[in-house]
Amino acid sequence: MAVHAHPDDESSKGAATMARYAREGVEVMVATCTGGERGDVLNPKMDRPEVWRDLAEIRSKEMAAAREILGVQQSWLGFVDSGYLEGYTPARVDELPEDSFARVPLEVAAAPLVRLIREFRPQVVTTYDEQGGYPHADHIMCHTISAEAFDAAGDPNRYQEFGEPWQPSKLYYDMGFSKDRIMAQHEAMLAAGLESPWAEAIEKWDWSRDKGGRVTTRVPCGEYFSIRDDALRAHATQVDPDGQWFRVPLDIQQKVWPTEDFELAKSLVETSLPEDDLFAGLR
């Protein structure tokens, strides 16, 4: 089960891993916390009044297309997008709209995820780290409810209205944007005589905050990168098909960094690090 904040997050974080496992016969569920109602239209080709007017409905349809491409199941947890607040920290939660996901009390916010875990019974759960991957209120809240539900779903004394307890065995955090990965792609583009889409970002990023050293698990999934990209393009309001996501050719990506990377945050089974499989210790 992959727990994500908004529709499109599942296609930009760990999507090739999900596509690989789904095609190997693993049942894969995406839990989407919000409908992305307060998102922006990031694809200039879709920046039209009728799109803004029907954004929630359009994003729901985009999610349906993406999950079909990935070959996964998907469930909405039913919360309302908090919107993006520049420089957000949880201390600023009162600045968000009152109906925001990030303002829902933890017991209430974790409840639908506990119910889904008990219904779907995953062995592995993936989500974001304690900073949300990046400081978006919904991403941080997504982490918070995932950590809460991971433990609560297996506790027979909690959320008793949701049936028999089920304890997942492993909890992972997505770790997709490491310095090593970006530099490997950047240098490979230059070596091929191509313009790197990362050049400007490399100059601006604060590399002291790089989390690449936290990676414990690299899942080989390069052959599924094209499926990941197709799922991303399905989120047409959020992803410019001519934008930065797609400027490193697939063959270069597959050659220099053919994995998606995770941090094993919690495991109730014995496993040896580093891993190359989210199900290590469970096979």
The pLDDT value given to residue 208: 83
Amino acid letter, 121: R
In a domain, 196, yes or no: no
In a domain, 117, yes or no: yes
The pLDDT value given to residue 245: 87
From the number of C-beta atoms within 10 Å of its C-beta (0-12, 13-18, 19+), residue 18 rates as buried
Q: Which two tokens stand for residue 272?
A: 């040896």
**Dihedral, CA of residue 97, residue 99, residue 105 and residue 109, to nearest 10:** -120
Q: Which two tokens stand for residue 217?
A: 């698990």
Whether the Cβ atoms of residue 237 and residue 35 lie closer than 8 Å to each other: no
In a domain, 81, yes or no: yes
Peptide bond into 274 cis (omega under 30): yes
Residue 6 marked ligand-binding:
yes
In a domain, 193, yes or no: no
The pLDDT value given to residue 134: 86
The pLDDT value given to residue 244: 84
The pLDDT value given to residue 209: 86
Rounded Cα distance, 3 and 82, in Å: 16
The pLDDT value given to residue 74: 98
In a domain, 206, yes or no: no
The pLDDT value given to residue 105: 98
Residues of the chain with pLDDT under 70: none
**51: domain range?**
2-178+212-267
Residue 9 marked ligand-binding:
yes
Residue among 259, 240, 247, 232 at smallest CA distance from 199:
247
The pLDDT value given to residue 206: 86
The pLDDT value given to residue 172: 98
The pLDDT value given to residue 243: 87
Q: Identify the bridge partners of residue 3 per DSSP, sorted by sequence position.
A: 31
Question: How many independent structural domains does the chain possess?
Answer: 1
The pLDDT value given to residue 43: 93
> DSSP letters of 122-165?
-SEEEE--TT-SSS-HHHHHHHHHHHHHHHHTT-TTSSGGG-S-
pLDDT tens sequence across 175-202: 998 999 999 999 999 999 999 999 998 9
The pLDDT value given to residue 219: 98
From the number of C-beta atoms within 10 Å of its C-beta (0-12, 13-18, 19+), residue 111 rates as buried
CATH of the domain at 128: 3.40.50.10320
In a domain, 189, yes or no: no
pLDDT tens sequence across 114-155: 999 999 999 999 999 999 998 899 999 999 999 999 999 999
Q: What Cα–Cα distance (Å) separates residue 229 from each residue in 10, 13, 39, 133?
A: 11, 11, 20, 20
Residue 151 marked ligand-binding:
no
Whether the Cβ atoms of residue 74 and residue 32 lie closer than 8 Å to each other: yes
In a domain, 283, yes or no: no
In a domain, 278, yes or no: no
